[in-house]
Every structure is written in structure tokens, then in C-alpha cells.
Amino acid sequence: MCIREIKESVIEFFIKISGFIIILFVFLIFLFLLNDAVLLFKDFPLKEFIFGKRWLPISNPPHFGIVPLLLGSLYVTFFATIICVPVGIASALFIAEIAPKFLRNILKSFIEILASIPSVVLGFVGIVWLGPFLKDTLKLNTGMCGLTGSFLLALMALPTIISISEDAIISVPKSFKEAAFGLGATRWQTLWRVVLPSASSGIIAAIMLGIGRVIGETMVVMMVTGNAPLVPKSILQPLRTLTATIAGEMGEAISGSEHYFALFAVGLVLFIITFIINFLSVILLSRSKK
């Protein structure tokens, strides 16, 4: 009896500690980024970092304007979202409400497989197949452009969006559906007018988490978007995202240099964006489970 109590309190203690440690880690990462990022602004004005339209880290004098990178990320993310949201919700509805059991299981395992494909493999597919394909069909100068990245990122966000939306759809009380059918609604009317609205906050959370995934993704965009740090005028041009910039330049930036600190500042911006998105989605998810 007494031993069991001790055991339980020890377990409880460890669980609590792990929770705190995670919070601590996030906070430490933030501090660590902030610590190095602020060093940039000793010499380089913050205003020019935020509003500067040129990212030329090794010119003389260097320019660390984040606008092209931020826009690059936004463009790619925006189009990826436009692609994956309708497809994701439709698939979730199909899996949760329409597909017969065996098909549902097959689809779910395919989605798990999709989620487990390493992003470098997807990048490879982009270089070898999707890029050239888009170049030919859309008559572009190069297939290594924002749109290629958007398509692949959409593919990467789909598993998140589908599985969380599916959860939200499945947890809509059966009694709502019964009520709708009892009033003479068709299956489609029930889905559209009852199930989807009731699942909406969970679905929105799924979308946000998917977007968080897209913004943070690095390898694919580095491989297929052309990596031109210019303010993009269209999604069909080569562009460069925040993540690709850090990953691509960190190796060559001299530790302790302005360039080095500028990359930390970019990292900080990325951290803040993803933090906000994830935070919002967690709030929405908890609201949907009220």
C-alpha cells in the first residue's frame, strides 16, 4: 500500500518534470536564438532587417533585408495551403464518413506511409519529375520554382491535416447525424450542414498545424525552389524561404560574423511565426474538444 503510493508519486513527479523540461527547452531555444540574433543589431539597423528588400550577405556592404525571404516563405506556404486544404478536408470526410471499412484502413495506412517519406526523397521527386513536368506544361523558364515547392509541401502537410480533421469529424456526436437523418436530410446534406460545421474548430486546428509544418520545412524547398533570394513577383519564379536560407548559408557563415548573427535573426523570426501558429492551433483544438 505504502510502496504503491510512493511509486505513484515518483511516477507523477517524473511526468510533471518532463512536462516542465519541455517548456524549459522551448524557452531556452528562444533565449539562445534571441541572444545571438540581437548581436546583429549592434551594427545593422533593425528597421533595415525587417523592411529591407535585399538579402546580400557577402556583398560589401552586406544587406540583410528579410523581406524577400519572408515573402518567399509566405508565397510557398500560401499556395501549398490552397492546394492541401480542400484536398485534405475532402479526404478526411471521405475516410471518416463515406469509405467502406476496408478502404478506410487502406487509405489510412497510405497516409501514414506518406507521412513517413523523408523530405529529401520528395525533394528528389521534385527535381527529377515534378519540376520538369511543371516547366513543360506551364512553359516556364525553370521548373525549380515556388510552385514546385508548394506542391511538395502540400503533399507533406496532407497527413497532418487529414488525420487531425478525421479525428474532429469522427468525434462529432452521432446524435447530430441521427437528428439530421430523422429530419429527412440526405447523407451529403448531413455532412455539409451538420458534420462539417460541428467539426470546424478541429479542422481549422488541423489546417494550422499543417501550415506550421509547411513553414518549417527546409529540405524540400531548398532542393526545388531555385533558391533565389529575390522578392518574388509570382509563385512561378524561383524564390528562397527563411528555412532554406538558414540551412544553405549556415555552413559558410563565419562564426561570430554579422552574417552568422543575421541567420540567427532569421531563425528567431521563423521561431516566432511557427510558435504563434502552433499556439493558435492548440487553442482551437482544445476548444473543439470542450
The residues that touch other proteins, with contacts defined as CB under 8 A, are 173, 175-176, 178-186, 189, 193-194, 197-198
CA dist., res. 209 & res. 159, Å (int): 11
Q: With respect to other proteins, which residue has the nearer C-beta, 30 or 181?
A: 181
- Side chain identity at 68, as an amino acid letter? P
In whole angstroms, how close is the CB of 184 to other proteins at the nearest point?
4
Q: With respect to other proteins, which residue has the nearer C-beta, 194 or 239?
A: 194
In whole angstroms, how close is the CB of 167 to other proteins at the nearest point?
17
**Exposure b/e, 154-180, CB count within 10 A at least 16 = b:** bbbbbbbbbbbbbbbbeebeeeebeeb
Instruction: Collect all residues with Cβ–Cβ distance below 8 Å to 269 and sequence separation of at least 6.
Output: 66, 70, 242
Instruction: Collect all residues with Cβ–Cβ distance below 8 Å to 139 and sequence separation of at least 6.
Output: none
In whole angstroms, how close is the CB of 245 to other proteins at the nearest point?
44
Quickly tell me which residue has 481549422 as its cell: 204
Q: Provide DSSP, 227-272.
A: ---S--SSTTS-B--HHHHHHHHTTTSPTTSHHHHHHHHHHHHHHH
In whole angstroms, how close is the CB of 158 to other proteins at the nearest point?
27
In whole angstroms, how close is the CB of 183 to other proteins at the nearest point?
5
Q: Looking at the DSSP assignment, which residues form a beta bridge with residue 239?
A: 226
* Cα separation values, 97 from 93, 167, 171, 190, 229, Å: 6, 11, 11, 11, 44
In whole angstroms, how close is the CB of 103 to other proteins at the nearest point?
15
Q: With respect to other proteins, which residue has the nearer C-beta, 118 or 182?
A: 182
Q: With respect to other proteins, which residue has the nearer C-beta, 97 or 217?
A: 97
Q: With respect to other proteins, which residue has the nearer C-beta, 165 or 198?
A: 198
Q: With respect to other proteins, which residue has the nearer C-beta, 200 or 274?
A: 200
